[in-house]
Amino acid sequence: MEILVIIALALAIVHFGIPLSYYFIARRSWLPLPWRVKRDESYRPKISIILPTYNEEKIIEKRLDNIFSQRYPRDLLELLIIDSSNDETVEKIEDWYRRHEGFPLKLMHESERRGKAYALNEALKISTGEIAVIADADAFWEEDALPEAISWLSDASVGAVTCLKRPMNDGSAKIEGSYRNYYNVMRLAESKKFSTPIFHGELAAFRKDLLEKIGGFPTDIGSDDSHTATMIAMNGYRSIAPEGVLCSESVPEKGYGEWRIRRAQHLVQHFSRMLSHIGIAPEGFRKILAIETYLHIFNPWLLIIAAGILVYGALEGSSLSDLLLGSGLLLLLYSPYRTWVATQLYLMMGAVRNIWTKEIAWEKQEKYRKRTNEAIK
Ligand code: GDD
Ligand code: MN
């Protein structure tokens, strides 16, 4: 029995030790690094904003207002909306366009819903910009997030730029909030070191020649944003999430668990695919990719195995098991720990769910929105 408990303890130490060490090392050694990017703030290439929509009638007009309010020369942008809705989204877009005639908007309707990445590739085919900027409907860009993101692409070494995220509502969003704080530090630190393998489809700008080089967005896995950015980094370009590019997204009040599991599924798909590529990753990216792949695919399981052993030990009357299990449960009162544990559970459930469905065309979650701007700050 003793030996089993020691194994459980060792697994728990590895499970928590690796991400914590990674976090502290990244924060101390990478976060203070200079960007090594020559940024021209007046850089204004032609851009194609691609907005895929599936049943976004409740939010689409606000989102269009938000994109409209970004400061970018109108003659240097096009907004390509690619829709596969069966609600009133298209009518809402047409209504909005009537009030904003002259805005360079093109609306395409898909005959059949084939998932977000497929829609993005369709829009890409007719896009004329040098840069493709992906925009989800249920997200918001903070003031000047767009010109700010584009300015980072003025340096030829940068291939992709994404935003850092802030959640918008209360309720379950509080969990999401703490999740993002730790994650934002990681995104920034990894970006400064070289590139981050996790991108946000809420705002993701890609150099179009690189998108073409890697064959567009992947349609057979769900993580169109992260996987695309990672493939660009694999080609030696920086895929970064800089400080000044902020976006927010609403978080579902209902179906929060399903939503997190589906997103975890997509991350697991992405990192599973990267597993065999770690060895050939560019020098500065290899360690980042190796650790993030480990953290998303393997590390969560150590926690459940350790917990399983301790439960068994407790049932067998081991008081050391009682003590360890009890402390693990008591720690759940501490919210960052609770958030971490929840994320591990989502990743494991996502991995299991991937066995029977990849969720390429996922169910829509109703996102509850309290107020759009206030909670952004
Ligand atoms: N045309 C089209 N066709 N659009 C779609 C489809 C589809 O089949 N499915 C979803 N969309 C649109 C949505 O309307 C929204 O604008 C955007 O794609 C993202 O969908 P959400 O339903 O908001 O996804 P999410 O925020 O939970 O997903 C996050 O993770 C995904 C990967 O797991 C975002 O970061 C996404 O950008 C990312 O792809
Ligand atoms: Mn979304």
- Segment 71-85 shows an average pLDDT of 97
CB 103 within 8 A of CB 70: no
Instruction: Please give the number of the atom of ligand 1 that sits closest to the Cα of 138.
Output: 23
Ligand 2 centroid to residue 250 C-alpha, Å = 7
* For residue 259, pLDDT beyond 90: yes
**What are the structural domains, with CATH classification, of the chain?**
47-255 (3.90.550.10)
Which atom of ligand 1 lies at the shortest distance from residue 262's CA? 33
pLDDT at 230 > cutoff 70 = yes
Predicted local confidence at residue 254, as pLDDT: 84
Q: Using the atom order of ligand 1, give the atom closest to the CA of residue 134.
A: 37
- Cα 338 to ligand 2 centre (Å): 23
- Best mutation site among 51, 54, 262 for ligand 1, i.e. most ligand atoms within 8 A of its Cβ? 54
**Interstrand relation of 164-167 and 246-249 (parallel, antiparallel or unpaired):** parallel
Q: Please give the C-alpha separations between residue 249 and each of 161, 166, 361, 371, in angstroms, as whole numbers.
A: 17, 7, 19, 11
Q: Which of 49, 46, 73 is nearest to 63 (CA)?
A: 49
Residue 54 CA neighbour count, 13 Å, CB half: 18
Segment 343-362, tens digit of pLDDT: 999 999 999 999 999 999 88
CA distance 266 to 262: 6
From ligand 2's centre to the CA of 125, what distance in Å?
23
Tokens of 327: 């402390």
pLDDT-derived band at 371 (thresholds 50, 70, 90) equals: very low
What is the 355 CA–ligand 1 centroid distance (Å)? 21
Question: Using CA atoms, how far apart are residues 310 and 333, in angstroms rounded to an integer?
Answer: 19
Residues with CB under 6 A from ligand 1: 52-54, 56, 82-84, 110, 113, 115-116, 119, 136-138, 200-202, 222-225, 259, 263, 266, 361, 364
Q: Could you tell me which residues come within 8 angstroms of residue 272 by beta carbon, excluding any fewer than 6 positions away?
A: 297
Q: Which residue stretches of the chain are H helix?
A: 2-25, 60-68, 89-99, 116-126, 145-152, 173-193, 208-213, 224-234, 256-274, 283-297, 299-315, 319-330, 335-353
Residue 120 corresponds to which tokens in the numbers above?
A: 């993005």
Chain segment 156-166, per-residue pLDDT in tens = 999 999 999 87
The torsion defined by the Cα of 203, 209, 215 and 219, in degrees rounded to 10, comes to 20
pLDDT tens, 184-220? 999 999 999 999 999 999 999 999 999 999 999 999 9
Nearest by Cα to 209 from 261, 273, 160: 160
pTM above 0.85, yes or no: yes
